[in-house]
Structure 1
Amino acid sequence: MTRRRVTATTVLLVLAGVLYSAWVAEFFLDTGLDPAHSFLSELDAADQPYRHFFSTADAITGVLLIAAAGLGSVLDRRALTTTGWIAIAVFGAATIADSQLPIECVAENDPSCPVEPSGLFPQLHHVHALTSTIAVFAVFTAMVAFTVAAFRYRTLPLLRTLGLAVLILTSTATLWLMIADNLPGSYGLGIAQRIQVSGMSLYLVVLGCSVLGRRPALTG
């Protein structure tokens, strides 16, 4: 039963990581958005032609993450891993909310779309910003919790190498995004966010593989 649960958790996490990368389809679809300067949330804005594709991918990702968290939480009940699984579940719930609460329009393509006086993209002033912020905070909590657990408990060895590298890369992209967002001009905000989200997706895959190759101590 434990082996089946481990396998199921791995499959769910890997599938979630792949689906969370559905945004790469923008390179094959005529979205009308510039990847270097647009936010990923603009892909599933209410007025975008492919919003159902991207929002459905996010919704399924969220469901998979919640299921993975439910299964994974019984594999190791220690504080750090429990924190990690709870954070994964919150990330999943927030991702579902993201898909159901899109921004209304994209100012770049719609002259009638309101732009805040600050000059920031309208999604930064939308409820979608709240769900996105919760999602990012939750996934970083999970990434940090699982990585620290891998070192402290001497389990999930893949997280001590590849997982740590992905965490550093994702954190760097997030820092780039936060600094650039408060400066005049774009500074490749779209690129920074895409690297950030790619890191989150990759971490889910690495976490899934780590669970599959976990040491027996995790079942204790």
Structure 2
Amino acid sequence: MSAFRRRLARRLSMALLVTGGLVYASWVLQFVLPVHIDPVTSFISELSAVGQPFRRVFRTLDLIGGALLLVGGATAWWQSRRWPGVWAPLVVLGVCIVLEALLPLDASFTDDLPDPGTGSWWARITEPHGVISFVETNAFLVLLVTCSLALRRIDAPLLRRRALATVGVLAALSGLVDAALTAALLVNGDAVGLGLVQRLGVTLTATWLALAPTWLLWVTLHRRRHGEAASPAASDAGSQAPPSDQRRKAS
């Protein structure tokens, strides 16, 4: 592959990762579209639920975002030839986002809750959308750990690593709080604050997805490119003896 094609492929992969990460936070369109869902108490997935007026908009954006992360992770894996523990969970994450869009909630979740204590809430969390969301969350946690370790291994700048780690940890903590509030919602029927926590967590996750994997790919390919450029120069320099050495050998 020519140098131009390598640069083009590298930039394309990074563009896919950045765009896919940003599109993951498509819920912000809730503020500009006449969506009748309370952002304080509702799940983000309810924006795509059956019966919602703009469900096709949010499903389409989820499909696009998931596909971008899937393809971006796959091409990054192919280009870098390193960090399979990073790119594999990123691909899984992209697949989960696509499946979530294809298998939306049947109805507005928080507006049609089962009666607390009846046990019917178990059917809610074991439906396909809930199972996929569980896999998606775990894929992100694995990705967070492996990508952070990879950035540390390549000795990326400390301040940037700490900033990204902070964003990622806050996103993970938001996910744990979200899970606890979801359990409380299903058992007790109380959803106050759940929507805010989930939207904060998704926004932090989208920010991290747009920055961390992209940075890992850029640093990996940048150092490899400069290393390959330096190797021929070093070998040429070693093969040519200084003029003073040549004169001493001749004498």
Query: The TM-score by the shorter chain falls in which range?
Result: 0.7 to 0.9
8 A Cα contact 2:17 2:69, kept in partner: yes
Task: Tell me the residue number matched to 1:203.
Answer: 208
Deviates more, 1:118-127 or 1:18-27: 118-127
Distance 1:58 1:15 in 2: 12
Task: Tell me the residue number matched to 1:192.
Answer: 197
1:191-210 Cα distance to aligned partner (Å, 9 max, x none): 11111111111011112551
Task: Tell me the residue number matched to 2:114.
Answer: 115
Q: CA offset at residue 13 of structure 1? A: 0.9
Superposition pairs of residues 93-172 of structure 1, within 5 angstroms: 93-106=95-108, 108-109=110-111, 113=112, 115=114, 117-118=118-119, 123-155=124-156, 160-172=161-173
Distance 1:16 1:149 in 2: 21
When Rg is computed on C-alpha atoms for both structures, the one with the higher figure is: 2
Q: CA offset at residue 218 of structure 1? A: 5.3
Distance 1:158 1:61 in 2: 28
Q: CA offset at residue 137 of structure 1? A: 1.3
Task: Tell me the residue number matched to 1:21.
Answer: 25
Q: CA offset at residue 72 of structure 1? A: 0.5
Q: CA offset at residue 87 of structure 1? A: 0.6
Task: Tell me the residue number matched to 2:36.
Answer: 32
Which amino acid in the other structure matches residue 44 of structure 1?
A: S
Q: Matched residue pairs, number? A: 215
Which amino acid in the other structure matches residue 148 of structure 2?
A: T
Deviates more, 1:25-34 or 1:38-47: 25-34
Distance 2:159 2:62 in 1: 26
Query: Residue 145 and residue 159 in structure 1: after superposition, are their counterparts in 2 closer, same or farther (change >3 A)?
Result: farther
Distance 1:213 1:88 in 2: 16
Which amino acid in the other structure matches residue 12 of structure 1?
A: L
- Partner of 1:182, secondary structure, is helix
- Percentage of pairs with the same residue: 26
Which amino acid in the other structure matches residue 174 of structure 1?
A: G
Superposition pairs of residues 83-98 of structure 1, within 5 angstroms: 83-98=85-100
Does 1:10 pair with 2:9?
no
Q: CA RMSD in A?
A: 2.5
8 A Cα contact 1:41 1:102, kept in partner: yes
Task: Tell me the residue number matched to 1:62.
Answer: 66
Distance 1:159 1:97 in 2: 33
After TM superposition, the score normalised by the length of structure 2 is 0.76
1:52-104 Cα distance to aligned partner (Å, 9 max, x none): 000000101111111101211034334xx211101111111111100000111
Distance 1:142 1:21 in 2: 18
- Partner of 1:161, secondary structure, is helix
Q: CA offset at residue 108 of structure 1? A: 4.9
Distance 1:100 1:90 in 2: 15
1:99-150 Cα distance to aligned partner (Å, 9 max, x none): 00011111555xxx56263585975242100111111211221122111111
Which amino acid in the other structure matches residue 40 of structure 1?
A: I
Distance 2:81 2:217 in 1: 17
8 A Cα contact 1:90 1:135, kept in partner: yes
8 A Cα contact 1:156 1:210, kept in partner: no
1:21-49 Cα distance to aligned partner (Å, 9 max, x none): 11111122222211111111111011111
Higher helix fraction (1 or 2): 2
Q: Which residue of 81, 84, 89 corresponds with 1:82? A: 84
8 A Cα contact 1:159 1:210, kept in partner: no
